[in-house]
Amino acid sequence: MSDPFLFSCPFLRLIWRIGLYSVLVTASVANMAQENFDRITVESFGTLDDGKAVQLFSLKNRSGMTVEIIDLGGIIVSLEVADAEGVFADVTSGFDIPQTYAEGAGYMGAIIGRFANRISGGKFSIDGVQYSLAQNNGDNSIHGGLTGYDKKIWNTEYSTDLNEARLVLTTVSPDGEEGYPGRVDVTVVYTLNDKNQLVIDYSATTDKATVINLTNHAYFNLDGHGAGSILNHEIRINADRYTPVDSTSIPTGAIEDVSGTPLDFRIAKAIGEDIESSHQQIQFGSGFDHNFIINHASPEALTLAAEAYSPKSGRVMNVYTDQPGVQFYTGNFLNGSLVGKERAVYDSREAFCLETQHFPDSPNRPNFPSTVLRPGDRLETRTIFEFLTRRARGSL
């Protein structure tokens, strides 16, 4: 910056420069002080009954948003964000005890693989060869089988940048694991940035043709994880169509319009508005438990798939993804039987999930986007959970 010409006197010019420099120095010291927080810390999360140690990684951003993730299942155990008044709360369901997760606590917060959601009859074929999976949901297979990716201890590495914290989780899923063909190398990267976005990048390769469908199964309550019903939350889902299911939640193969059904969330509405509908789909799902086909401007473009808003707290969560679908599940099968962190009790419809994914049972549905991964190809997919607030009550 040039000195004002008024200061033609050398003495005044000197005073001006000293003033200017001290402002600059103060600003950069303040900036350093602002950066002076740990974007990632690591501590023990206890041990499993078999003696395996579980590590907890806390990712923090400049505005104080904090996400805690464990190496068991890459599980998000807490996610603290501010409400419209600046008050922080943990908006995701979870547990204090690692063994609860290991025993399969509704897959809360976990990375799901090798195949998220259901596969009909626990069977599928690739190139004429049939594969059989554990039938762990009635006759169907769900969420990767008995010991899915949610129960593995993942390898971890972490790093920080000027504007973000990054946790890299890797694992190898051996050939034949849970009945799936091919050794699959999986990487999941969680990045927390200063825009209050939790970015999840998934990638995978295989040495034999296989099927794969990865997601995160976090349960949310934007009023706080133990705050009760989510029926007041307003949801908008950017989907004109969905995949209707049979009574066992397996897609019929049809692709139907949401218009005129309780599944029409194209304009935001309260979850409670149509959840007791007598519509057959709502009866089959015991509420909302459906895969919505996201309106992508172009295939695989990162798109706003859904927005959730609680008029009570003013918290908003936007979900962006390049995946073709999102499973909107309203926690219909939660039953208060598990004691959560801070002794919270999670009863039916006290949390919801927005699981970005390929369509359920895709391996048996040639008309759905393919979930086959072949040697030499790499699966790459991104989902972003973004948090903001809106003070005034109103629809999205």
Q: Which stretch binds ligand BGC (CB under 6 A): 3-11, 233-241, 326-334, 388-396?
A: 326-334
x-marked contacts with ligand BGC along 69-108 as a string, rule CB under 6 A? -------------------------------------xx-
Closer CB to ligand BGC, residue 191 or residue 213? 213
**Beta bridge mates, 136:** none
- CA 358, chain centre distance (Å): 14
Closer CB to ligand BGC, residue 37 or residue 333? 333
What is the per-residue DSSP string for 301-370? --EEEEEEE-TTT-EEEEEEESSSEEEEE--TT--S-SB-GGG-B--TTS-BEEEEESPTTGGG-TTSPP
**How many whole angstroms separate alpha carbon 377 and alpha carbon 365?**
21
Closer CB to ligand BGC, residue 41 or residue 100? 100
64-67, Cβ contacts within 8 angstroms, sequence gap of 24 or more: 64/88, 65/192, 65/196, 65/387, 67/190, 67/192, 67/198
Catalytic residue among 143, 217, 233, 290: 217
Residue 84 burial (CB count, 10 A)? 17
Q: Give me the least distance between CB of 310 and ligand BGC, in Å please.
A: 21
Name which position in 120, 213, 249, 383 contacts ligand BGC (CB under 6 A): 249
Local structure of residue 215 (DSSP, 8 states): E
Q: Give me the least distance between CB of 292 and ligand BGC, in Å please.
A: 12
Q: Give me the least distance between CB of 137 and ligand BGC, in Å please.
A: 7
Site for ligand BGC in 194-233 (CB under 6 A): none
Residue 310, SS3?
Answer: coil
**How many whole angstroms separate alpha carbon 80 and alpha carbon 232?**
20
Q: Which stretch binds ligand BGC (CB under 6 A): 26-34, 145-153, 191-199, 327-335?
A: 327-335
Site for ligand BGC in 104-143 (CB under 6 A): 106-107, 117, 142-143
Q: Give me the least distance between CB of 266 and ligand BGC, in Å please.
A: 21
Site for ligand BGC in 275-304 (CB under 6 A): 289
Interface with ligand BGC (CB under 6 A), residue total: 11
Q: Give me the least distance between CB of 224 and ligand BGC, in Å please.
A: 21
Closer CB to ligand BGC, residue 322 or residue 355? 355
Catalytic residue among 68, 234, 350, 355: 355
> CB under 8 Å to 26, separation ≥6 — which residues?
none
| Dihedrals phi, psi of 299, to nearest 5 degrees | -55, 135
Cα–Cα nearest to 268, from 312, 316, 220: 316
**Beta bridge mates, 192:** 165, 198
3-state DSSP helix/strand/coil % of the chain, to nearest 5 = 15, 40, 50
Tell me if 43 sits within 8 A of 59, measured CB to CB: no
- 355 classed as catalytic: yes
Cα–Cα nearest to 293, from 246, 249, 255: 255
Closer CB to ligand BGC, residue 91 or residue 142? 142
x-marked contacts with ligand BGC along 5-44 as a string, rule CB under 6 A? ----------------------------------------
Residue 333 makes contact with ligand BGC by CB under 6 A: yes
Name which position in 71, 234, 355, 361 contacts ligand BGC (CB under 6 A): 355
Tell me if 191 sits within 8 A of 168, measured CB to CB: no
Site for ligand BGC in 254-273 (CB under 6 A): none
Q: Give me the least distance between CB of 289 and ligand BGC, in Å please.
A: 5
Q: Which stretch binds ligand BGC (CB under 6 A): 33-41, 61-69, 325-333, 386-394?
A: 325-333
Q: Give me the least distance between CB of 107 and ligand BGC, in Å please.
A: 5
Residue 178, SS3?
Answer: helix
Task: List Cα–Cα distances, 79 to 58, 61, 243, 317, 396, in angstroms.
Answer: 10, 12, 30, 12, 23
Closer CB to ligand BGC, residue 223 or residue 355? 355
What is the per-residue DSSP string for 194-212? TTSEEEEEEEEEESS-EE-
Residue type, 48: L
Q: Give me the least distance between CB of 280 and ligand BGC, in Å please.
A: 16
Give the strand pairing for 234-237 and 269-270: antiparallel
- 217 classed as catalytic: yes
Point out which residues bind ligand BGC (CB under 6 A).
Answer: 106-107, 117, 142-143, 249, 289, 327, 329, 333, 355
Active site residues: 217, 355
